[in-house]
Chains A and B, each alone.
Chain A
Amino acid sequence: MSEALLVQEAGAAPLAAPASGARQFWRRLRAQRAATVAAAVVLLLFLAALAAPLLSALAGQDPDTYHPDLVDSASGGVPIGSFGGIGADHWFGVEPQTGRDLFARVVYGARVSLGVAVAATFLQVVIGVVVGLAAALGNRWVDQVLSRITDINVALPLMVIALGLLAVVPPSFPRPVLIALVIGGINWAGTSKIVRAQALTLKSLDFVSAARLGGRGRWSIARRELLPSLAAPVITYAALLFPVNITVEAALSFLGVGIKPPTPSWGQMLTEADTWYQSAPTYLLLPAGLLFVTVLALTVLGEGVRTALDPRAASRLSIGTGRKQRGERTKERAS
Chain B
Amino acid sequence: MSQPSVISRRVATNAAVSLALVAGLAACAGPQDNGGGGSGGGSGASGEPQKGGTLTVLNSNPQEDFDPARLYTSGGGNVPSLVFRTLTTRNRENGAAGAEVVPDLATDLGTPSRNATVWTYTLKDGLKYEDGTAITSADIKYGIERSFAAELSGGAPYLRDWLIGGADYQGPYKDKKGLDSIEVPDEKTIVFRLNKPEGEFPYLATQTQTTPVPKAEDKGTKYEEHPVSSGPYKVVSNENDGERLVLERNPHWSAATDEERKAYPDRIDVRSGLDSAVINQRLSASQGVDAAAVTTDTNLGPAELAKVSGDKELAARVGTGHFGYTNYIAFNPKVKPFDDPKVRQAISYAVDRSSVINAAGGSSLAEPATTYLPDQKSFGHTPYDHFPAGETGNAAKARQLLKEAGHPKGLTVTLTHSNDKDFETSPEIATAIQAALKKAGITVELKGLESNDYSDTIHSASKEPGFFLAHWGADWPSGGPFLAPIFDGRQIVKDGANFNTGFLNDASVNKEIDEINKLTDLDAAAQRWGALDKRIGERALTVPLFHPVYKRLVGQDVKNVVISDWTGVLDISQAAVK
Assembled-state Cα–Cα distance A96/B423 (Å): 14
**Docked-complex contact B419 and A275, CB < 8 angstroms:** no
Surface stretch bound by B, among A10-18, A240-248, A256-264, A324-332: A256-264
Cα distance, A258 to B392, chains bound together (Å): 31
With A71-B362, A75-B364 as contacts: A275 and B301 at CB distance below 8 Å? yes
Say which one of B31-39, B82-90, B400-408, B430-438 lies at the interface with A: B430-438
Q: How far is the CA of A61 from the CA of B304 in the complex (A)?
A: 28
CB-CB under 8 A for A97 and B359, given A75-B305, A76-B304: yes
Indicate whether A65 reaches chain B with its CB closer than 8 angstroms: yes
Tell me the bound Cα distance from A279 to B361 in angstroms.
Answer: 13
Q: Does B302 contact A (CB under 8 A)?
A: yes
B358: interface (CB < 8 Å): yes
* CA of A7 to CA of B1, assembled, Å: 42
A96 touches B447 (CB 8 A): no
Q: Is the CB of A73 within 8 A of B363?
A: yes
- In order of increasing CB-CB distance, the 5 nearest A-B pairs are A279-B306, A76-B305, A76-B302, A78-B306, A76-B306
16 chain-A/chain-B pairs, Cβ below 8 angstroms: A66-B358, A68-B352, A74-B363, A75-B310, A75-B364, A76-B304, A76-B305, A96-B303, A97-B358, A98-B358, A171-B448, A172-B447, A261-B428, A261-B430, A276-B306, A279-B303
Q: Given contacts A73-B354, A75-B310, A76-B304, are A98 and B362 in contact (CB under 8 A)?
A: no
Please determine whether A260 and B446 come into contact, CB atoms closer than 8 angstroms: yes
Interface assignment of A72: CB less than 8 Å from any CB of chain B:
yes
With the chains together, A76 CA to B419 CA distance in Å? 21
Q: How far is the CA of A276 from the CA of B1 in the complex (A)?
A: 12
What is the 8 Å Cβ interface bit string for chain A, positions 79-122, against chain B (1 contact, 0 not)? 00000000000000000111100000000000000000000000
- CB nearest neighbor in A for B307: A279
A65: B residues at CB distance < 8 A: 435
Interface residues of B in 47-79 (CB under 8 A from A): none
Contact in complex: B362, A261 (CB < 8 Å): no
Interface positions, chain B 342-386, Cβ under 8 Å from A, are: 352, 354-355, 357-359, 361-365
* Interface residues, chain A, with chain B CB atoms under 8 Å away: 64-66, 68, 71-78, 96-99, 167, 171-172, 256, 260-262, 275-280
For A277, the chain B residues whose CB sits under 8 A away are: 303
A-B contact count (CB 8 A): 106
Interface size class of B (residues with CB under 8 A): 35 or more
Rounded to whole angstroms, the CA-CA distance of A73 and B354 in the bound complex is: 9
Contact of A256 among B361, B419, B428, B432 (CB under 8 A): B419
Q: How far is A278 from B303 in the complex, measured between Cα atoms in Å?
A: 8
What per-residue 1/0 map shows which CB atoms of B409-445 lie under 8 Å from chain A? 0000000000101000001101110111010000000
Q: What is the bound-complex CA distance between A96 and B438, given in angstroms?
A: 21
* Candidate in A72, A76, A99 with the most chain B CB atoms within 10 angstroms: A76
Q: Which residues of A contact B304 (CB under 8 A)?
A: 76, 275, 279
Report the separation of the CA atoms of residues A137 and B354 in the bound assembly, to the nearest whole angstrom: 65
User: In the complex the two chains form, is A261's CB within 8 Å of B359's CB?
Assistant: no
CB distance from A29 to the nearest CB of B (A): 43
State which residues 440-477 of B face A: CB under 8 Å.
Answer: 446-450
Report B280 CB to chain A, min CB distance, Å.
10
Establish whether residues A280 and B448, one from each chain, have CB atoms under 8 Å apart when the complex forms: no
B residues sitting closer than 8 Å to A (CB atoms) are 1, 277, 301-307, 309-310, 352, 354-355, 357-359, 361-365, 392, 419, 421, 427-428, 430-432, 434-436, 438, 446-450
A-chain residues with CB within 8 Å of residue B362 when the two chains form the complex: 71-77, 97
Q: A36 to B430: give the CA distance in the assembly, Å.
A: 44
A274-B358 Cα distance, complex, nearest whole Å: 18
Chain A nearest CB from B299 CB (Å) reads: 11
Q: Is there contact, CB below 8 Å, between A97 and B428?
A: yes
| A72, B361: Cα distance in complex, Å | 10
- CB-defined contacts of A260 to chain B, threshold 8 Å: 427, 446, 448
With both chains docked as a complex, state the minimum distance between the C-beta of A272 and any C-beta of chain B, in angstroms: 8
Please, how many angstroms separate the alpha-carbon atoms of A96 and B301 in the complex? 12
Say what secondary structure dominates the interface of chain B.
helix
**Is A77 within 8 A of B392, CB to CB?**
no
Given contacts A66-B432, A68-B392, A74-B363, contact A96 B306 (CB under 8 A): yes
Q: Verify A275–B305 contact, CB threshold 8 A.
A: no
Residue of A nearest to B421 (CB): A256
A275-B364 in contact given A97-B428, A261-B446, A262-B434 (Cβ < 8 Å): no
Residue in B352, B358, B392, B421 whose Cβ sees the most chain A Cβ within 10 Å: B358
Tell me the smallest distance from the CB of B173 to a CB of chain A, in Å.
40
Tell me the complex Cα distance, A279–B306, Å. Answer: 6
Hey, which chain A residues are within 8 Å of B307, CB to CB? 278-279
Q: A97-B362, A171-B448 are in contact. Are A275 and B1 (CB under 8 A)?
A: yes
CB of A65, distance to nearest CB on chain B (Å)? 7
Chain B residues closer than 8 Å to A71, beta-carbon distance: 358, 362
Query: Which chain A positions have C-beta within 8 A of B436?
Result: 66
B417: nearest residue on chain A (CB-CB)? A261
Minimal beta-carbon separation of A313 from chain B (angstroms): 47
CA distance A73 to B364 in the complex (A): 7
Contact assessment for B364 and A76 in the assembled complex, using a CB-CB cutoff below 8 Å: yes
Residues of chain A lying within 8 A (CB to CB) of residue B359:
77, 97-98
Residues in chain A near residue B358, CB distance under 8 A:
66, 68, 71, 73, 77, 97-99
Chain A residue contacts of B427, Cβ below 8 A:
260-261
How near does chain A come to B391, taking the closest CB pair, in angstroms? 9
Contacts of A262 in B (CB 8 A): 431, 434-435, 446
Are the CB atoms of B361 and A76 closer together than 8 Å?
yes
Most interface-central of A64, A98, A167, A277 (chain B CB within 10 A): A98
Output the least CB separation between B103 and chain A (Å): 40
Q: Which residues of B contact A256 (CB under 8 A)?
A: 419, 421
Taking CB atoms, residues of chain B closer than 8 Å to A78 are: 303, 306
Residues of chain B within 8 A (CB-CB) of A280 are 303, 306
Instruction: Select B302's contact among A64, A77, A167, A171, beta carbons within 8 Å.
Output: A77
B361, A77: Cβ atoms under 8 Å? yes
Cα distance A187–B365 in the bound complex, in angstroms = 44
Contacts of B357 in A (CB 8 A): 73
Which residues of chain A have C-beta atoms less than 8 A from B277's C-beta?
Answer: 275
The residue from A68, A167, A275, A279 contacting B354, defined by CB atoms under 8 A apart: A68
Contact yes or no, A171 B447, CB < 8 A: yes
- Return chain A residues, CB-CB under 8 Å to B1: 275
- Bound Cα distance from A276 to B361, whole angstroms: 12
Chain A nearest CB from B548 CB (Å) reads 13
Determine how close the nearest CB of chain B comes to the CB of A319; give it in whole angstroms: 49
Q: How far is the CA of A280 from the CA of B43 in the complex (A)?
A: 27
| A residues less than 8 Å from B310 (CB atoms) | 75, 279
Closest to A172 in B: B447
Which residues of the other chain, B, contact A64 by a CB distance below 8 angstroms? 435, 438
A280 to B309, CA, bound (A): 13
Q: Smallest CB–CB gap between B138 and chain A, Å?
A: 51
Contacts of A73 in B (CB 8 A): 354, 357-358, 362-364
